[in-house]
Amino acid sequence: MASTQTDTSVQPIRATIEYDNGKTLMAQGPQALHDHVASRMEKALGRALPQMEVRFKDVSISADIVVKDETDIKVELPTLTNELMKSVRGLGAKKHTVRKQILRNVSGVFKPGTITLVLGQPGSGKSSLMKLLSGRFPDQKNVTIEGEVTYNGAPANDETSTILP
C-alpha cells in the first residue's frame, strides 16, 4: 500500500504593520513592532544592526555630602537683620560631611536583543546605574565610583564613552 504525501510546510503568516496611528502600530505587541522596525533598518542599511552586551560587576557609587546641623538653630522671623546674622554664623560653622552610599556591589548583564526593566524604590540608585552604564554619569570630585563595566567585552573608559549612542 503506497501512500503519497506532499510536503506542505506551513510558513507563519506575518501580518503587516499599519502606520495609521499608535494603536495599529502596537496591535501585534512591542516585540513585533521592534522586529518590523529592525528588519526595515537592516534592509535600508544593507547590514545587520549592531548588538551591544553590557556587563557590570561589583559597581559601587558613593558621594560625600555636606549635612547641615539644624539642632541649635532657633526659629526666627525672616527679617533682614536675622538673615544677616544667620549667614554670618554659617560662615564660621564647621561643615559636617557624610558618605552616602548610592549603589553597593551591584552586578549584572544586559544581553543584546532583550528588554530589561530596572525596578526599585525611589532613591535606590536606578537612574544613577543607568547614567553610569550609558556613560553620562557626572564626574565630580566628591563622588567615588568603583567596579568594572564592559561593553562587548571592552572595558569602559573615556574612549568608550564617546562612541556610546
138-160 pLDDT, tens digit each: 889 999 999 999 988 888 876 66
76-132 pLDDT, tens digit each: 678 888 888 877 776 766 677 899 999 999 999 999 878 889 999 999 999 999 999
110 in the same domain as 31: no
- In a domain, residue 88? The reply is no
102 in the same domain as 42: no
Please tell me the predicted confidence (pLDDT) of residue 155: 87
148 in the same domain as 110: yes
155 in the same domain as 128: yes
123 in the same domain as 59: yes
- In a domain, residue 65? The reply is yes
Q: In terms of pLDDT, which residue wins out, 161 or 152? A: 152
- In a domain, residue 159? The reply is yes
Domain interval for residue 34: 16-48
132 in the same domain as 151: yes
142 in the same domain as 118: yes
- With a cut of 90, say whether residue 27 has pLDDT above it: no
Please tell me the predicted confidence (pLDDT) of residue 127: 95
* SS3 letters across the chain: CCCCCCCCCCCCCCCCCCCCCHHHHCCCCHHHHHHHHHHHHHHHHCCCCCCCCEEEEEEEEEEEEEECCCCCCCCCCCCHHHHHHHHHHHHHCCCEEEEEEEEEEEEEEECCCCCCCCCCCCCCCHHHHHHHHCCCCCCCCCEEEEEEEEECCEECCHHHHHHCC
Please tell me the predicted confidence (pLDDT) of residue 5: 53
